[in-house]
């Protein structure tokens, strides 16, 4: 094969802790092998019945069915193999079968799941779960172990459940049906966790199918006043970044998603060359932590109780150093770098122990030791240790040393050394935190600048498309290609995944030629040429992300770009802004397109409502959420106030009262928000008659005053209007969707 191989990978969310690392690994392999990788971010493919049962996912349906047409691009002729990276595509439903039928002519590889007749690459689920249960039985003497399993039909969940049954049977421990619960791989399955624990009040341990579900178990156990790691043990699966920071630290099965994505592309490349595969496995490793009773510090505490501590006492230097490192080292040995870091840290600790506890010649001075330790933690060692544990060990070592060395000189020297190391660690942590803050601020600044550039766009569609690509430079995008459909395509939930066969490459950008507007005579491109037209040949880098451009139910086209990893999570939002701009550009030219006007009339004769909302300054839901999230990132955050007005479905109001009343209601909502808040305020229309505002209030005392004023002001709105104001203190776990959900739920008694 002379041309480069083209592989498409379909994932659910780029900023997801699981799918993000998968794409990172896939990019690494694609770059090594010289493969073009097309990353297609598509929504979950659920059935309508699933949505009717799972309330927590209904809000996502509207976004998901917009993203799903992108699946059509995986079926392009130029794509040699499709990696399907979401378990929800392969759950045995009718939707899954339709997807596989759509990709029937393609070589396919399923990641972290299985589908009949399709090769797959998965974690070694069985080994991970069995190691966790074996540890609970052999090390902690547990007998009554529960299993909090994942969703039915999911291969990972079923394999982990099967492994649990097998290991329990191996130890002759009975498993009853009430010892198994079923969640959905999310931290929101609180009720399911509560039901499982209430059915088994004498349980010794709970093995969770993933870390997110373990968070739900933690929450329920806290409500029951049970202490995790003492009253009951809990384990997870995946080694989510949060697992090492939970209280207590969550014991989990390490499953490296980066390796999964990397190996998927390696295997996929070999499949393109004709090799046959059935199922590949990626190794897993159980990590015991405090949630399952594992506490190396207990062994260290035995030093204090030794009766032979004195000037001539001898310590096992190697053994003590290994014990300390096993306590402070929180990294995972899955690559050469992590192994080197652990060895360097162990050598540094060994020199400290040798100088102050070994009966050997002190070959290293305290200054030598400090220099070595400082170099180790500066060169990446800090990423692999828990600072609070390191400080705890230092305090213990100093206490033990004082008991065996009565000289003030020795004590002073050791105290100074350990204090200097602590200070160095704190300096590095502070510097790291400041860098994170700067990156977050930089992303916010760039996003704001980018969005302003888009919103101020004027002129024709051709000029607007040129400026969109130009504005992407603010987010360090070095290569971007904007394709639009000849006419917007309406897509409804339940539609098949089809897009027009013809697109128009309006503008593209690369590092050599800058922004180039494609000549009108050369714009028309077949869908299959998205990855191989004359403008891209030889210039397209290894990996490109495809973002769907849609507004309400209308699909406009796609944006192909190489997104930098550090800004990867914001490009979904970028897609929303670009969609709004493209929609605006198309609206300006709509008067000259009579057929498109007729199509819009078929959809609704209430276009004046959209006009009234725009003239009143109400943002659409996605714009509102994006602007509110930007305000939440500001440095001077106070009390966050969310105000919601429910004026009823506007279509019903129109049919009952007429256009005048509807426009008056919209305008009255605008007046309330503008008069209520003197501070900076973002207002938006969330659909179904719900208007909302988000504002930062400096004084807590103003909240109740504004709430009283809100009630008085809304009495004049016709028809009867429900209202509610909620106030929140800022903390990093909050997001705008959570803030909106609570008042709307109260307002409508959902």
pLDDT given for residue 493 in this prediction: 61
Give 396 or 252, the one with higher predicted confidence.
252
- The pTM of this model reads 0.67
More confident residue, 16 or 115: 115
Q: pLDDT higher for 113 or 74?
A: 74
Distance of alpha carbon 694 from alpha carbon 239, whole angstroms: 35
**Res 52 pLDDT > 60:** no
Q: How confident is the model at residue 235 (pLDDT cuts 50, 70, 90)?
A: very high
Q: Which range, 242-256, 532-546, 557-571, is most confident?
A: 242-256
| Cβ proximity of 126 and 162 under 8 Å | yes
- 742 pLDDT more than 50: yes
Q: Could you tell me the CA-to-CA distances from 572 to 216, 538, 689 in Å, in that order?
A: 28, 27, 26
Task: Please give the Cα distance from 638 to 661 (Å, whole number).
Answer: 37
Cα–Cα distance, 85 to 157 (Å, whole number): 16
Distance CA 398, CA 367 (A): 17
Q: Are 478 and 510 in contact (CB under 8 A)?
A: yes
Confidence of residue 129 (pLDDT cuts 50, 70, 90): very high
pLDDT score, position 90: 45
The residue among 158 and 54 whose pLDDT is bigger is 158
Is 166 or 24 the better-scoring residue by pLDDT?
Answer: 166
Give pLDDT, residue 48: 47
Map out the domains of the chain with their CATH numbers: 123-259+285-291 (3.40.50.2300), 298-432 (no CATH), 606-750 (3.30.70.270)
Q: Give whole-number Cα distances, 616 to 112, 668, 670, 674, in Å.
A: 48, 9, 6, 10
Residue 708 pLDDT more than 60?
Answer: yes
Q: What is the mean pLDDT of residues 627-634?
A: 74
| pLDDT for residue 732 is more than 70 | no
Kindly indicate the confidence band of residue 60, based on its pLDDT and cuts at 50, 70 and 90. very low
Q: Residue 284: its pLDDT value, please?
A: 87
Listed residue (498, 518, 514, 515) closest to 506, CA to CA: 518
| Percent of the residues in the chain that have a pLDDT greater than 70, as a whole number | 79
- The torsion angles phi and psi of 360, rounded to 5 degrees, stand at -130, 170
Distance CA 345, CA 385 (A): 9
- Give me the mean pLDDT over the 32-57 stretch: 66
C-beta neighbour count of 378 within 10 angstroms: 13
Asked if 193 and 203 touch (Cβ cutoff 8 Å), the reply is no
CB-count burial class (<10 Å; 0-12, 13-18, 19+) for 320 = buried
User: What tokens appear for 110 in the block?
Assistant: 């399923």
Q: What is the pLDDT of residue 142?
A: 94
pLDDT tens digits, 328-343? 777 666 667 778 888 8
Name the average pLDDT for the chain.
79
Q: Return the pLDDT at 667.
A: 84
For residue 74, give both structure tokens: 């995986």
Q: What is the pLDDT of residues 646-656, one digit of tens each?
A: 887 776 677 66
405 vs 111, higher pLDDT: 111
Between 650 and 286, whose confidence is greater? 286
> Taking 70 as the threshold, does the pLDDT of residue 56 lie above it?
no
Q: How high is the pLDDT of residue 89?
A: 54
């Amino acid at each position: 094969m002379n041309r480069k191989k083209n592989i498409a990978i379909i994932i659910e969310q780029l900023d997801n802790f699981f799918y993000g690392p998968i794409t990172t690994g896939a990019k690494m392999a694609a770059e090594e092998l010289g493969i073009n990788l097309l990353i297609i971010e598509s929504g979950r493919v659920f059935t309508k019945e699933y949505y009717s049962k799972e309330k927590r996912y209904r809000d996502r349906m509207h976004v998901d069915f917009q993203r799903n047409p992108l699946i059509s691009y995986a079926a392009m002729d130029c794509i040699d193999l499709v990696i399907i990276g979401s378990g929800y595509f392969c759950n045995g439903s009718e939707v899954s079968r339709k997807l596989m039928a759509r990709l029937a002519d393609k070589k396919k590889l399923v990641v972290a799941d299985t589908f009949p007749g399709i090769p797959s690459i998965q974690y070694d689920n069985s080994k991970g779960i069995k190691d966790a249960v074996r540890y609970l039985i052999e090390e902690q003497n547990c007998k009554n172990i529960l299993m909090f399993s994942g969703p039915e039909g999911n291969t990972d969940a079923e394999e982990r459940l099967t492994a649990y049954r097998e290991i329990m049977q191996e130890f002759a421990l009975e498993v009853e049906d009430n010892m198994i619960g079923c969640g959905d791989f999310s931290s929101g399955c609180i009720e399911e966790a509560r039901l499982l624990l209430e059915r088994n009040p004498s349980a010794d341990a709970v093995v969770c199918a993933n870390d997110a579900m373990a968070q739900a178990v933690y929450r329920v156990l806290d409500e029951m006043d049970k202490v995790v790691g003492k009253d009951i043990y809990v384990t997870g699966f995946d080694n989510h970044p949060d697992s090492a920071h939970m209280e207590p630290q969550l014991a989990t099965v390490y499953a490296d998603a980066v390796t999964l994505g990397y190996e998927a592309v390696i295997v996929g490349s070999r499949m393109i060359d004709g090799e046959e595969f059935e199922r590949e496995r990626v190794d897993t490793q159980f990590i015991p932590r405090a949630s399952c009773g594992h506490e190396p510090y207990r062994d260290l505490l035995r030093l204090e109780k030794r009766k032979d501590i004195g000037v001539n006492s001898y310590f096992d230097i190697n053994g003590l150093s290994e014990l300390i490192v096993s306590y402070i080292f929180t990294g995972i040995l899955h690559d050469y770098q992590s192994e080197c870091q652990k060895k360097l840290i162990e050598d540094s600790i060994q020199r400290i122990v040798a100088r102050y506890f070994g009966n050997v010649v002190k070959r290293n001075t305290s200054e030598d030791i400090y220099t070595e330790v400082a170099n180790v933690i500066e060169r990446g060692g800090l990423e692999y240790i828990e600072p609070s544990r390191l400080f705890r060990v230092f305090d213990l070592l100093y206490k033990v040393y004082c008991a065996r060395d009565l000289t003030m000189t020795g004590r002073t020297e050791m105290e100074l050394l350990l204090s200097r190391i602590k200070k160095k660690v704190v300096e590095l942590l502070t510097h790291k935190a400041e860098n994170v803050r700067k990156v977050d601020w930089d992303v916010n600044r760039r996003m704001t600048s980018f969005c302003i550039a888009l919103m101020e766009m004027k002129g024709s569609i051709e000029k607007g498309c040129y400026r969109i690509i130009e504005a992407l430079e603010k987010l360090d995008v070095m290569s971007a290609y904007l394709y639009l459909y000849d006419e917007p395509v309406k897509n409804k939930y339940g539609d098949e995944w089809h897009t027009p066969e013809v697109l128009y490459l309006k503008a593209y950008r690369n590092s050599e030629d800058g922004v180039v507007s494609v000549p009108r005579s050369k714009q028309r491109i077949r869908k299959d040429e998205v990855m191989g037209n004359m403008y891209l040949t030889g210039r397209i880098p290894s990996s490109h992300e495809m973002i769907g451009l849609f507004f309400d139910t209308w699909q406009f086209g796609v944006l192909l770009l190489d997104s930098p990893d550090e800004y990867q999570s914001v490009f979904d939002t970028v897609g929303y802004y670009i969609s709004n701009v493209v929609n605006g550009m198309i609206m300006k030219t709509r008067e000259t397109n009579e057929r498109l006007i007729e199509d819009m009339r078929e959809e609704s004769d209430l276009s004046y409502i959209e006009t009234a909302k725009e003239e009143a300054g109400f943002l659409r839901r996605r714009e509102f959420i994006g602007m509110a999230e930007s305000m939440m990132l500001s440095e001077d955050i106070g009390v966050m106030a969310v105000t919601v007005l429910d004026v009823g479905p506007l279509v019903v109001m129109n049919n009952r009262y007429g256009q005048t009343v509807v426009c008056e209601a919209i305008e009255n909502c605008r007046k309330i928000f503008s008069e209520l808040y003197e501070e900076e305020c973002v207002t938006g229309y969330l659909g179904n008659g719900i208007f909302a505002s988000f504002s930062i209030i400096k004084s807590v005392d103003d909240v109740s005053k504004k709430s009283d004023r809100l009630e008085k002001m809304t009495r004049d709105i016709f028809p009867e209007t429900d209202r509610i104001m909620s106030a929140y203190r800022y903390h990093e776990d909050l997001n705008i969707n959570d803030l909106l959900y609570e008042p709307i739920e109260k307002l409508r008694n959902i």
